[in-house]
Every structure is written in structure tokens, then in C-alpha cells.
Structure 1
Amino acid sequence: MRRGTNVVLPAAAVLLAVAGCSFSGQLVTSGPGGSSAPASSPAAPPSSAPTSSAPAPTTTPPPTSAPPTSAPATSAPPTSAPATSAPPPSTPATSTRPPSTPAPSSPTTAPAPTGPPQPCRSEQLVAALAPAPAPGAGRAAATVSLTNLGSAPCTLVGYGGVSLRRSDDGPVPSSQVRAATPAPSSVTLAPGLGVRSTLSWSTVADPAVGEPADGPCEPTPTTLQVIPPNQVPQLAVPWTAGPVCGQGALTQTAYVR
């Protein structure tokens, strides 16, 4: 029986060599069972070797490529540096505003030429009264002035009108006598400029017109009402020169510069 098995083993080995299977050259003889277990055990080791070597090359490349991607993240801070340089350009923007302010001033000067001056109106004039040298014995005098307070020049010519009033706004006997000289002439008043006229009156009572010889010849006025030439509205001026004798006759010259 032993002898028969020794003859079968070499025949099996020959068959395996022909099939191209590689062995390590060691032939293990099995026991009396004579089963095919020894043939399957040598085939297992070669198959496991290739499987263990395959995963090694595939895992190494991915980790090496990951670190480079994190490097650009560190380059982000440099981009914030240019942001600090942005404010300087904003300062020149303020210098562009001043040139725009002079522009409105030029249109205001354009309307100045509006044609020939218009007659002076009462509402653009202001009247004043000041003492003047007496023209002779028994007479007194004062100067009436009219000043242009408007924003445009205006013209004025002639005498206008005058009248006296009491403190209770009651009338006082008064009349205007126009002097022949100087002759009336047109005057142009620029803003802020004025004209003047001289008033004169008697300080002596006239019995021929019913004025008393003793005491005030006429009621004492407190206000002089001045009417500019060619106007109707009156301008009130305080009167402090006392009574005007001769029934309140006021001699007035034409307005001049």
C-alpha cells in the first residue's frame, strides 16, 4: 500500500508542472489519507501578495495635493493692505466743492442792468429833519433829507409836499410856499444816497392874520409830514422847532444833491 502512494505522487507532480503552477520545490507528503489538501495550501499564498500591494500606491497621492491648497489662503491678508490705500483718494473729492460755490455769485450780478431808473417811491425812501442856519432875523430853518433805502437807483425831481401835525394827530395850520431857486431838476439816487431840501418859516406872530402878540403864535406841532415828489404816501418826521408863525407857512426849496 505504501508503495502505491509513492508512485502516484510523482505523477501528480508532473501534471502540476505541466499546468504552469510554480512551487517552491518542496514536496510535502501527506499521511495515509492521501487527500488533495497539500495542493490547495500552496496556491493561497501567491494570491494574497498581489492584493496587499495594490492599495499602497493609490493612497499616497491625495494627501500630498491637499497642503498646497491651504497655502493660497495665507495670501488673502495682502489683499486687505490695498484697502487702506483707498481713503487717500477720497480727500481730493473735497477740493472739488469750493469751485462750485463761486458759481451762484455770478448770476446775482447779472440782473443789475435793468434799464433806466424808475421814480423814487415813498416806501423805498426815509425822511429826516435837521436844524439849519437861520436865513435872517425873525426866521428859522431846517433841512429835510430823503435817502434811497432800496436796492436799485431811482429818480426824484421837484418839491413834494409838507404839513404839520399835533401830538394828538390833529392838524396844525400849515401851508407850503415853493422857492424859485434853485430850479427843480431830476436827480438820480443810487442805493444809500439822498437829496435835501431847505425849509424856512417865521418865528414872529403876525397880528394881521389874527395871531396873538403874546404867547405862541400858533399851536406847537410835534410831527412834520413829508410827501416825496410825485408821491401820495407821507413820511412822518419828529418836529422840535416850535410853532410856525404866519399861519404855519413853510417855504421850501426843490430837492437837490
Structure 2
Amino acid sequence: MRPSGISKPPFAIVLASAAAVLCACGGGGDSGASPTPSRTTAAPGTPPSPTITRDFAPTPSASSGSPSHASGRCRSDDLEARISTAGPAAGQRYAFLTLTNTSGSACHVYGYVGMLLLTASDHPIPTRVERLSPPGPQTVRLQPGGSAHARLQWTVVPGPREPEHGACAPTPGLAWVTPPDERSHLAVNWNQGVVCGNGHISTTPLQPGAAPR
């Protein structure tokens, strides 16, 4: 499937192994939100459990008076995700991830998204998400139709224990994006090619506005 909609992992075993990567803590907020009911049909078959790790320093928690603790946080149901190319550099690739408020009410996001890459046949690819700072997280208020974006960066140069000839890893066809402090994810097409470095992707915190063109 390729909708930019809400989806729970199609396999129970994947949900358990991918939780560390998909978790998108915003440096504060209600991290105990309940998963969103599934809207998709599980793919047949159960793939082997991937090896998923997290590769970033934890973001310091916001104080109890932080706006991220206020009501009105954007839920996965409220958002639509899109990934757009931001241009290449020597051995590096960049993209912008944009979250848009598709609900009828204002809400806010604060912090970083979680992400898991999958093949075109929905098999998970080991993914490591690094949170970049500075800049630090900020509360971004989204009016209906409003957007926030983050910049993604990864390498296409094979890393240790990756093949030096041919593809360094399976080519992703889909990404599961988890908004800050949410547990359910958004499914979005990944048309950015292979991710080397053992699935390492760096991301900035969400910033106001749609992605630069």
C-alpha cells in the first residue's frame, strides 16, 4: 500500500522489534498515547524480525510548563506526511519531510519524528535515526492546512560490513513516519533511493512551514 495515511504495522512481530525506531519522543508531551486503530489490511506472510537500533542522544525533557504539555497536540489522525527531494551532495542525500494538519482544528507538534524504512513489498529495513541539534526542538502550532518540516540526511557510500559493489542495502519503497509523542504511524512513499551506513538517517526537529522548494 502507498497511502499517506494511518497504519499500524502489518505484522505483530515487526511492531515489537521496530518500536524503538518508530517511537518519536518530542522531548516532552504525552508519551502514553494509545495506538490508533488500524485502517489497512495486513500483508500475507510474516517476515523475519529486523534488527533495529536507535542512534541518538536523548533529547532533554521539557519542563512541566512547556507548551508541549498543553492540550491540542497533533495526533497521527490529524496529519498527512510527504517526503520531497532536497538535492544531493558528494556521497550524501537530502530530503524534506513535511507534516500537514488535515484536521479541522489547530494543533501543535514539538520535537522529532520516528521513522522506519521498508521495501516495496513491505518488509522492514534496519533503520537508525539520529536526532540533530542545534537547532533544538520548538513548539510549532499548525492551523488547519498548516505544515511543519524536518530535513533528512543520509549517505549512499557503503559503510562497514556493507557490500562495496552493487546495492549496499535493500532499496526502500515506503517509510513509516511517527509524529512526535505518537505511537501510530503515517505510511508515505519513499522515492529517494538506497540508504547506506546501516540504515542511518539524520533528522532535524520539526520547524514551522512547508519544506523549501
Number of aligned residue pairs: 139
Stretches of 4+ aligned residues off by more than 3 angstroms: none
Q: Structure 1 residue 137 and structure 2 residue 90: aligned? A: yes
Of 144, 152, 156, the match for 1:203:
156
Larger radius of gyration between Structure 1 and Structure 2: 1
Cross-structure match for 1:240: 191
1:152 touches 1:191 (CA, 8 Å); kept in 2? yes
Counterpart CA distance in 2 for 1:165 and 1:171 is 4
Partner SS, residue 207 of structure 2: coil
Partner SS, residue 247 of structure 1: helix
Of 196, 205, 211, the match for 1:254:
205
1:188-227 Cα offsets, whole Å, 9 max, x none, are: 1111101000100001111x2x101100000111001110
Cross-structure match for 1:112: none
Counterpart amino acid of 1:226?
V
- Using structure 1 for the length normalisation, give the TM-score: 0.53
Q: Structure 1 residue 128 and structure 2 residue 82: aligned? A: yes
Of 114, 137, 146, the match for 1:161:
114
Partner SS, residue 123 of structure 1: helix
1:30-56 Cα offsets, whole Å, 9 max, x none, are: xxxxxxxxxxxxxxxxxxxxxxxxxxx
Cross-structure match for 2:129: 176
Superposition pairs of residues 1-257 of structure 1, within 5 angstroms: 118-134=72-88, 136-206=89-159, 208=160, 210-257=161-208
Task: Please report how far the alpha carbon of residue 165 of structure 1 lies from its aligned counterpart in structure 2 after TM superposition.
Answer: 0.5
Cross-structure match for 1:65: none
Counterpart CA distance in 2 for 1:244 and 1:160 is 18
Aligned-residue Cα RMSD (Å) equals 1.1
1:91-134 Cα offsets, whole Å, 9 max, x none, are: xxxxxxxxxxxxxxxxxxxxxxxxx7500000010000100033
Percent of counterpart pairs with the same letter? 36
Structure 1: give runs of 5+ residues left out of the alignment.
Answer: 1-115
Cross-structure match for 1:20: none
Structure 2: give runs of 5+ residues left out of the alignment.
Answer: 1-69, 209-213
Relative contact order, higher structure (CA 8 A, sep 6+): 2
Task: Please report how far the alpha carbon of residue 137 of structure 1 lies from its aligned counterpart in structure 2 after TM superposition.
Answer: 1.6
Partner SS, residue 226 of structure 1: strand
Task: Please report how far the alpha carbon of residue 247 of structure 1 lies from its aligned counterpart in structure 2 after TM superposition.
Answer: 0.6
Larger fraction in helix: 1
Counterpart CA distance in 2 for 1:247 and 1:218 is 8
- Using structure 2 for the length normalisation, give the TM-score: 0.63
1:175 touches 1:250 (CA, 8 Å); kept in 2? yes
1:146 touches 1:195 (CA, 8 Å); kept in 2? yes
